[in-house]
Amino acid sequence: MSDDPRSVEQDANGDTVIEHRTARQRRGRARPRIALNLTAMIDVTFLLLVYFMVATEFKLGEEVYRLDLPDRRAAQAARDPFELDEEPLRIQIATLGRQGYRLRIDGPYPQPETFDDLHEFLRSRRIADEVPGGLFEPSHPIIIEPTRTTRWQHAMETFNAAARARFTNVTLGRAG
């Protein structure tokens, strides 16, 4: 067998035809070529890929409030018997109707109408260098007391108002 990959032949018109042949063709044309048709698999695979890319929803927008609930055992163990309790500031929140709400602060304070009012009240009463006449330390306990039917949205907005005013000891109380 010749090593030249080309075969030089004459066709019916007498023209010269040079035909390139692969090594396999040179070994023998009788052997069938085995090939795997991947087209259908690739089609299905891409369909699956597109489906999962469209259907997958990432929750990238979620953020968290870190709320460390009181450790009752540690609090009892470390309790100074002569220490006076710091009276917490209690804020009640109730949902009215579908979207309305009512805020109430325990004590002789101006009552806020909105969450922004509450935030402004708390910010103006926090003891800080830039706030003259503050009443409460940033670590002063604040207890938010939603009613049983208060929506979680309103409870969290109240919590957020206190957190935005930079109070650090904010807890959620029992359902009133």
Contact residues for other proteins, defined by CB under 8 A: 11, 15-20, 22, 38, 41-42, 45-46, 48-49, 52-53, 55-59, 61-74, 146-153, 155-157, 159-160, 163-164, 166, 172, 174-175
- Residue with Cβ nearer other proteins (58 or 82): 58
Rounded to 5°, angle at Cα 68 from 66 and 71: 175
β-bridge mates for residue 143, sequence order = 90, 171
- Residue with Cβ nearer other proteins (2 or 99): 99
Task: State the minimum distance, in angstroms, from the CB of residue 129 to other proteins.
Answer: 19
The label of the residue with tokens 């009640």 reads: 92
Task: State the minimum distance, in angstroms, from the CB of residue 49 to other proteins.
Answer: 5
Q: How far apart are CA 144 and CA 106, in angstroms?
A: 11
Task: State the minimum distance, in angstroms, from the CB of residue 83 to other proteins.
Answer: 21
Q: How far apart are CA 174 and CA 69, in angstroms?
A: 13
- Residue with Cβ nearer other proteins (39 or 108): 39
3-state SS class at 154: helix
For residue 24, the number of C-alpha atoms closer than 13 Å in the C-beta half-sphere is 5
Q: What is the DSSP letter of 107?
A: S
Q: How far apart are CA 110 and CA 126, in angstroms?
A: 15
- Residue with Cβ nearer other proteins (127 or 172): 172
Task: State the minimum distance, in angstroms, from the CB of residue 82 to other proteins.
Answer: 26
Q: What is the DSSP letter of 32?
A: P
- Residue with Cβ nearer other proteins (60 or 84): 60
Task: State the minimum distance, in angstroms, from the CB of residue 148 to other proteins.
Answer: 4
Q: How far apart are CA 159 and CA 37, in angstroms?
A: 62
